Chains A and B, each alone.
Chain A
Amino acid sequence: MTHTQTIKIAGAVMPPLFALTAVLAAAAVFLGPTVPVWRPGGSPATEVVRVPGGPLLYREAGAFTLEGHEIDAPLTQTHVAGTLEVMKYQVSAAQYGLCVEEGACAPADNSAGASAGLPVTGVSYLDVQNYVTWYAGVTGQDWRLPTDLEWAHFARLGPEPDDRSAPSGTMAERWLNTYRQSAASGRTPDLAARPRGHFGENALGIADIGGNVWEWTDTCFARVNLNAAGNVMSRLETCGVRVLEGQHRAYMSAFVRDAISGGCAVGTPPDLLGFRLVRDVPWYDGLLRLFD
């Protein structure tokens, strides 16, 4: 199966929750203590969706220029190599709260009055790094933020729109056009987090892609200058700014928790900042399948 909506274990296709339990149980049986079974604080185990690698059309994140004119990054045919396990839902306020309780994470900005079943919001990239470290320690697994490419791969939203693939008009015209397009989108902020799953699932069974919680990725902001032939003349990465994904792509300083006050001078800022983690499926995963 190319689109792994559920995890295949022992020849049966099961809903993810059961499947995960089965995975963990199987792991415990076959691999003993090397793969810990973890149910933090009695909360439901983290549901994951397995996403095989594959090809995709991708528009790289960052600011691109073609001979000095700002353009959108060229669309390229690329691929994701390995299989990923992707959290089906964004990390919840309850899950994040465990990290806070243990003193490994700072409380989220929106923690006052936040319901445990909601996705955690009001977290910066730096907060997420603390969570990643803590979560990896607790689970013994290498959970991490996805790269922007990986996010694009599992989000299945298609590449970013092509507004400016070639320079057209004067600088001022492009500036005004960009402003007007942003103004015409007419999006008004939607700042109330919704219960996980509210925004539905994509074709892979991953929930809440493109809802009102934007997701941090591990990808740094890059400025890339191209020449007329499309060759990269220079590339400078600024890792103090990271790429956020959601209804549209955004760039945000790593310490920002609230996009409304933290960036996006022109254009509509993300409503809420949250995250989900991924991990590379380990090499011994194939061994499990041998026992099918």
Chain B
Amino acid sequence: MTINDTIARRSFLAGTAALAAGVPFVLNRRSLAQDASPVTVAGLGGVTTDIDALERVEIDLLPPPFVHAHEQVAPGAPRVVAFRMVIEEKPMVVDDLGTTLWAMTFHGSMPGPLMVVHEGDYVELTLVNPATSEMPHNIDFHAATGALGGGALTNVYPGEEVVLRWKATRPGVFTYHCAPEGMIAWHVVSGMTGAIMVLPRDGLKDHEGKPVAYDKLFYVGENDLYIPRDENGNFKTYESLGESYADTLDVMKGLVPSHVVFNGRVGALTGANALTANVGETVLFVHNSCNRDTRPHLIGGHADLFWPGGGFVNPPQRDFETWFIAGGSAAAALYTFLQPGVYAYVNHNLIEAEQLGATAHILVEGEWNDDLMKQVVAPRPIQ
């Protein structure tokens, strides 16, 4: 790993040097790192906010498909919302065959945990890279403005931590990912991506501007994995993350994933792990796809509302059979279940859904509505 490490380190240093010209970044970073007395930050339109005067909340992140407790309508004035994320590099089993990925994760899960704030809040992230890591890491928030989404200010080597604060100015759902120069793709397809949701202060609104709320939120992260195979076609395992790099890169460059999974492994959201809901419940599906385009479809259902591109400022569109999420983004769809039974939530490239893993199941309880559907004649020989 010495070689790769060296390359990464050199790239990192180059990247940092290039950004050093943007002095404000460096100043801000230093101020934060030193936790100096009242810091002021220029907000939109040159308005200065006294950060220390804001209420501060600290959030414990939850692994997917769950999300930390949050309010859909902001309770008051903008706050500083503090998160602490610990990077974990570890082998993770990604299918029922025991295939193992040397994963790199934000906070131990694929995808990284969903963060929720409101427009105008300040996100304060402490990013921790334990000394046991092999790799340097950072984080690029697509929701944030400047410095490579924060990537240039968050490079942490093993044994380091960094604190980044950014203002959530654009409501919507956005991806975040690790972005070490020259190795971004590898870190992303090894698991280092997740989503943040910036809610409008007055909550979500439908196509007519009326408030809408969700009873449940399902957070689905889609990951394309590129696990190398040996000469017999069996998936290889590696002693360390670094050892897996060269082979993995070869597979990656072929652009044919070995797995396309929801929440880190085939079956993470099926069988005993299937999601549950009731007829009449409204569910917000937040779907993150950092690397490849995807096209979620709820078999037997729809998206009542979908915010193309993930932006909540734009009015949602209605009645989708399948909705598009461009690689490098997250998006949200809202649906109220009308019938009980088993639903499949899939990437409707069905090869990826059926053969590569991109399937979740939702078990919905409630009263069947014969008006919506009825089997008039059970299968019988042709009359």
Residues on A with C-beta less than 8 A from B339 are: 172
From residue 250 to 292 of chain A, which have CB atoms closer than 8 A to chain B? 261, 266
Q: Is A223 an interface residue (CB 8 A)?
A: yes
Any B CB within 8 A of the CB of A180: yes
| A67 to B: closest C-beta gap in Å | 9
Q: How far is the CB of B100 from chain A (nearest CB, A)?
A: 15
Residue of A172, A189, A266 near B96 (CB, 8 A) is A189
- Is there contact, CB below 8 Å, between A170 and B368? yes
B31 within 8 A of A: no
B96, B233, B270: residue with the most chain A Cβ atoms closer than 10 Å? B96
Asked if B378 and A180 sit within 8 Å, CB to CB, the answer is no
Which residue of the partner chain B has the closest CB to A112?
B232
Task: Find out whether the CB atom of A175 lies under 8 angstroms from the CB atom of B341.
Answer: yes
- Asked if B24 is at the interface of the complex by the 8 Å CB criterion, the answer is no
Q: Do A184 and B272 have beta carbons less than 8 Å apart?
A: yes
CB neighbours (8 Å) of A223 from chain B are 379
Question: Which residues of chain A are near B340, meaning CB under 8 Å?
Answer: 170, 172-173, 176
Known: A179-B274, A266-B342. A112 touches B233 (CB 8 A): yes
Checking B96, B97, B361, B368 against A171 with a beta-carbon cut-off of 8 angstroms, the contacting residue is B368
The answer on a CB contact under 8 Å between B381 and A236 is: yes
Interface flag for B363 (CB, 8 Å): yes
A261 to B232, CA, bound (A): 18
With a cutoff of 8 Å between Cβ atoms, the chain A residues found around residue B342 in the complex are: 175-176, 179, 266
Tell me the residues in window 54-110 of chain B with beta carbons closer than 8 Å to chain A beta carbons. Answer: 96-97
**Complex Cα–Cα for A155 and B233 (A):** 34
For window 270-287 of chain B, which residues contact chain A by CB distance below 8 Å?
A: 270-272, 274
CB distance from A134 to the nearest CB of B (A): 27
- Contact in complex: A176, B378 (CB < 8 Å): no
Chain A residues with CB under 8 A of B271:
182-183
B96 touches A188 (CB 8 A): yes
Cβ–Cβ < 8 Å partners of A184 in chain B: 272
How far is it, in angstroms, between the C-alpha of A287 and the C-alpha of B272 when the chains are bound?
58
Residue of A112, A172, A183 with most chain B CB atoms under a 10 A cut-off: A172
Interface residue? B304 (CB, 8 A): no
A55 lies within 8 A of chain B by Cβ: no
18 inter-chain pairs at a CB distance below 8 angstroms, sorted by A residue, are A65-B378, A68-B378, A112-B232, A170-B367, A172-B341, A172-B364, A175-B342, A176-B341, A179-B361, A179-B363, A180-B363, A182-B271, A183-B271, A183-B272, A188-B96, A189-B97, A233-B380, A261-B355
Q: How far does the Cβ of A95 sit from chain B's closest Cβ, in whole Å?
A: 22
Instruction: Determine whether the beta carbon of A186 is less than 8 Å from that of B381.
Output: no
A234 within 8 Å of B by Cβ? yes
10 closest cross-chain pairs (CB), A and B: A172-B340, A183-B271, A68-B378, A172-B341, A183-B272, A189-B96, A234-B381, A113-B232, A172-B368, A236-B381
Residue of B nearest to A233 (CB): B380
Residue A10 is within 8 A (CB to CB) of chain B in the complex:
no
| Secondary structure class of chain B's binding surface, majority of residues | loop
A92 contacts partner chain B, Cβ-Cβ < 8 Å: no
How many A residues, CB 8 Å from partner? Answer: 27
In the complex, A180→B341 CA distance in Å? 11
Interface residues of B in 215-265 (CB under 8 A from A): 232-233
Chain A residues close to B by CB (< 8 Å):
65, 68, 112-113, 170-173, 175-176, 179-180, 182-184, 186, 188-189, 191, 223, 225, 233-236, 261, 266
- Can you add 12 more A-B contacts, CB < 8 Å, to A176-B342, A183-B272, A225-B378? A65-B378, A170-B340, A172-B339, A172-B340, A172-B341, A173-B340, A223-B379, A225-B380, A234-B381, A236-B381, A261-B355, A266-B342
Residues of A within 8 A of B379 (CB): 65, 223
**Interface assignment of B134: CB less than 8 Å from any CB of chain A:** no
> Nearest-CB distance from B258 to chain A (Å)?
14
Q: In the docked arrangement, what's the CA distance between A233 and B380, Å?
A: 9
**In whole angstroms, how far apart are the Cα atoms of A221 and B375 in the complex?**
22
Q: A236 — which chain B residues lie within 8 A by C-beta?
A: 380-381
Is B272's CB under 8 angstroms from A191's CB?
A: no
Q: A191 contacts B368, CB within 8 Å? A: no
Chain A contacts for B364, CB-based, 8 A: 172
Contacts of B355 in A (CB 8 A): 261
**Whole-angstrom distance between the Cβ of B53 and the nearest chain A Cβ:** 51
* Minimum CB distance partner of B340 in chain A: A172
Assembly CA distance A186 to B273 (angstroms): 11
Residues of B contacting A179 in the complex (Cβ-Cβ under 8 angstroms): 274, 342, 361, 363
Which chain A positions have C-beta within 8 A of B272?
183-184, 186
A240 to chain B, nearest CB (A): 16
Q: How far, in angstroms, from A235 to B368 measured CA to CA in the complex?
A: 29
Closest chain-B Cβ to A13's Cβ sits at a distance in Å of 44
Query: In whole angstroms, how far apart are the Cα atoms of A173 and B365 in the complex?
Result: 8
Whether A191 contacts B341 in the complex (CB less than 8 A), given A171-B368, A225-B380, comes out as no
In angstroms, how far is the closest chain B Cβ from the Cβ of A238?
11
The reply to whether B363 and A176 contact each other, CB–CB distance below 8 Å, is yes
In the docked arrangement, what's the CA distance between A182 and B368, Å?
A: 22
A32 to B189, CA, bound (A): 69
* Bound CA span A253–B87, Å: 46
> For the complex, what is the distance from the CA of A176 to the CA of B362, rounded to whole Å?
10
Contact digits for B319-358, partner A, Cβ 8 Å, 1 yes 0 no: 0000000000000000000011110000000000001000
Determine the residue in chain B with the shortest Cβ distance to A236. B381
